[in-house]
């Protein structure tokens, strides 16, 4: 198994829509605690189980489902500290998806 270079670390994830998260990864890389510190949902904290795979050297595809039913997938490039994020959630008009980009800063 490759080294999960994000495991055991905490990052500030700043998204292109102004939302900012503090993401803390378990030492084995299989769990995440996210805290929304700016933008919609500020104050939200949740612990989630992760599904992760290294898809290229230093690039990880990481996904989880939140209690709300929102599904999240991150393509985290630890070489450039960038993220491509895709999330889906229910609305009164049906399920929608959003694609975002962001940056990681280790805290």
Q: What confidence score (pLDDT) does residue 1 get?
A: 45
pLDDT digits (tens, 9 = 90+) for 24-54: 999 999 999 999 999 988 999 999 999 999 9
CA distance 58 to 41: 30
Q: What confidence score (pLDDT) does residue 3 get?
A: 82
- The total of structural domains in the chain comes to 1
Instruction: Determine contact, residues 12/21, Cβ cutoff 8 Å.
Output: yes
DSSP for 27-38, written as a single string = TTSSEEEEEEEE
Instruction: Determine contact, residues 48/64, Cβ cutoff 8 Å.
Output: yes
In a domain, 2, yes or no: no
Q: What confidence score (pLDDT) does residue 85 get?
A: 97
pTM (2 d.p.): 0.91
In a domain, 95, yes or no: yes
Res. 97 pLDDT band, cuts 50 70 90: very high
In a domain, 69, yes or no: yes
In a domain, 4, yes or no: no
Domain with 82 in it: 10-106
């Amino acid at each position: 198994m490759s080294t999960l270079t994000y495991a055991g670390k905490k990052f500030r994830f700043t998204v292109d829509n102004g939302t900012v998260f503090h993401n803390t990864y378990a030492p084995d890389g299989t769990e995440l605690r996210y805290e929304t510190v700016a933008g919609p949902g500020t104050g939200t904290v949740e612990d989630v189980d992760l599904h992760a795979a290294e898809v290229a050297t230093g690039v990880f595809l990481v996904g989880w489902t939140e209690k709300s039913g929102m599904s999240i997938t991150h393509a985290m490039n630890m070489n450039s500290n960038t993220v491509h994020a895709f999330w889906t959630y229910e609305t009164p008009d049906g399920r929608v998806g959003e694609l975002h980009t962001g940056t990681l800063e280790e805290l």
